[in-house]
Amino acid sequence: MKQITSASEEANVEDGALSRSTALIHSSSSSAREAGLLNPPVHRASTIVYGTVEDYIDRHSRLYDGVTYGLYGTETVLALASAIARLERGHQAVLTSSGTAAITLSLSAFLQAGDHVLVIDTVYRSTRRFCDEVLRSYGIGVSYFPPAIGGAIAELIRPNTRMVFIETPGSLTFDLTDVGAITAVTKPHGIITALDNTWATPLLFRPIEHGIDISLASATKYLSGHSDVMLGAMTAATEGIFRRLKDTAARWGSSASPDDCYLVHRGLRTLEVRLERHQRTASELVAWFEKQPEVRRVLYPALPTFPDHSIWLRDFDGASGLFGVVLNPLSASERSAFFNGLRLFKLGSSWGGFESLMVPSWPPPARSCSETDDGCLIRVHAGLESASDLIHDLEEAFMRLRSAGRAER
């Protein structure tokens, strides 16, 4: 299996080209470095005061690159935005209160009544709900396309198509899409593309390098890594797109907490080593799941038997710790027996933290033009615990499952 590497990955930082891991460790703000601080301090503010009336009147000239009002970001917020943008190799990032806010704001920035947006069918459920319930109510047309579409997306483009929204791997089923084939079609048409890159993070996949205009992330997850913040990021490929995103966030009154930005920036320092451990543990769990007779399929792009594995090999630098498992259909008592006795795996939404999680994918994945399996789909997040301890927890869960099945027969 491909391992996460950093030796060949260069990140442009202020003082030269550094390896990705080194850039993560040394990302900071200029004021923090000048003060001898390793981490940018927490700057909380609403009002920003000015020394002269001329500076006050001219304050909006620094809206996009300075501290002018608390809503638009303090230095703590801007330091993290710059660090994420460097990792993404984009122009600059705008931070939001959550990953969902980043998604909805990016769509709101470029769509208006009468426009049309193409959305990948395997998108996150909250994104689909925003498209179906909000965008359509604003008079915006929404169409879904299968993840395997590639260059054939040209057949779906209408005269009023303004955006294409992608999530890869897809939510819950982890389907991959050929991003470069899609952007090769959208670029000549001037269609804006946005991609939810939360699963891979910019360490494992950099959408902007594949022609994407806006790379999105729920920093709540891997970028933070500790399950105690809510934050989103929109990284723009160009200055014009960045300004549009920044203006839209301001108009909607969206802001990011300086305290949460501080915690995420601190989490960035260990992102690479955490992802390495997540992938290693996930690989061991995947291999174990594949041997269980109750398992129909394991959904993990790094698995050689996964249908889209060739795309992962070509485009990604590694895999994270999130994957899916399709079990044979379970009765209610079998499901309860399996999940309710877990000791190390926790039942909870979200993922990307230090802890292992496992939940039934309920409700089932919402799809418009993609097939779904009638088995019991579960989502697994491999945390930072020992793989052998996690496997022991799983062994006990399958023993309970089999016992419940025998009792029903």
Residue 134 sits at φ, ψ, to 5 deg, of -105, -55
The boundaries of the domain holding residue 232 are 83-268
Q: Count the residues in the chain.
A: 409
| CATH number of the domain encompassing residue 226 | 3.40.640.10
Cβ(103)–Cβ(242) under 8 Å? no
Cβ(229)–Cβ(238) under 8 Å? no
Q: State the Cα–Cα distance between residues 345 and 379, nearest whole angstrom.
A: 11
Cβ(245)–Cβ(95) under 8 Å? no
242 and 348 assigned to the same domain: no
100 and 195 assigned to the same domain: yes
Cβ(215)–Cβ(224) under 8 Å? no
- Residue 201 is which amino acid? T
How many CB atoms sit inside 10 A of residue 158's CB? 11
307 and 327 assigned to the same domain: yes
Number of helices (H) and strands (E) in the chain: give both, helices first: 14, 13
- Tokens 């000239």 correspond to 61
- Tokens 């995103």 correspond to 245
Quote the pLDDT of residue 200: 98
Quote the pLDDT of residue 65: 87
Quote the pLDDT of residue 149: 97
Quote the pLDDT of residue 45: 92
Q: State the Cα–Cα distance between residues 198 and 168, nearest whole angstrom.
A: 9
Query: Does some domain include residue 40?
Result: no
105 and 253 assigned to the same domain: yes
Domain count, the chain: 2
232 and 120 assigned to the same domain: yes
233 and 323 assigned to the same domain: no
Compute CA distances 202 → 80, 85, 86, 96, 217, whole Å: 14, 9, 9, 17, 9
Secondary structure of 204-219 as H, E, C letters: HCCHHHHCCCEEEEEC
Last residue of a domain, one of 234, 253, 268: 268
276 and 337 assigned to the same domain: yes
Last residue of a domain, one of 268, 286, 303: 268
What pTM value is reported for the model? 0.92
Farthest-apart Cα atoms in the chain, separation = 82
Q: What angle do CA 55, 40, 258 make, to 5 degrees?
A: 75
Quote the pLDDT of residue 15: 44
Q: State the Cα–Cα distance between residues 404 and 325, nearest whole angstrom.
A: 20
190 and 329 assigned to the same domain: no
3 state DSSP class of 298: strand
Q: State the Cα–Cα distance between residues 167 and 147, nearest whole angstrom.
A: 9
306 and 356 assigned to the same domain: yes
Q: In a structure prediction context, what are the per-residue pLDDT tens digits for the chain, which is 409 residues long?
A: 676 654 334 444 444 577 777 877 777 666 777 678 788 889 999 999 999 999 999 888 888 888 988 889 999 999 999 999 999 999 999 999 999 999 999 999 999 999 999 999 999 999 999 999 999 999 999 999 999 999 999 999 999 999 999 999 999 999 999 999 999 999 999 999 999 999 999 999 999 999 999 999 999 999 999 999 999 999 999 999 999 999 999 999 999 999 999 999 999 999 999 999 999 999 999 999 999 999 999 999 999 999 999 999 999 999 999 999 999 999 999 999 999 999 999 999 999 999 999 999 876 788 888 777 789 999 999 999 999 999 999 999 999 999 999 998 7
135 and 87 assigned to the same domain: yes
Query: Does some domain include residue 231?
Result: yes
Quote the pLDDT of residue 28: 66
- Tokens 């309860």 correspond to 336
Query: Does some domain include residue 12?
Result: no
Q: State the Cα–Cα distance between residues 45 and 69, nearest whole angstrom.
A: 8
Quote the pLDDT of residue 8: 37
Last residue of a domain, one of 227, 252, 268: 268
- Sheet with 376-381: list strands edge to edge: 295-299, 322-327, 376-381, 357-360
Encoded tokens for 16: 């030269």
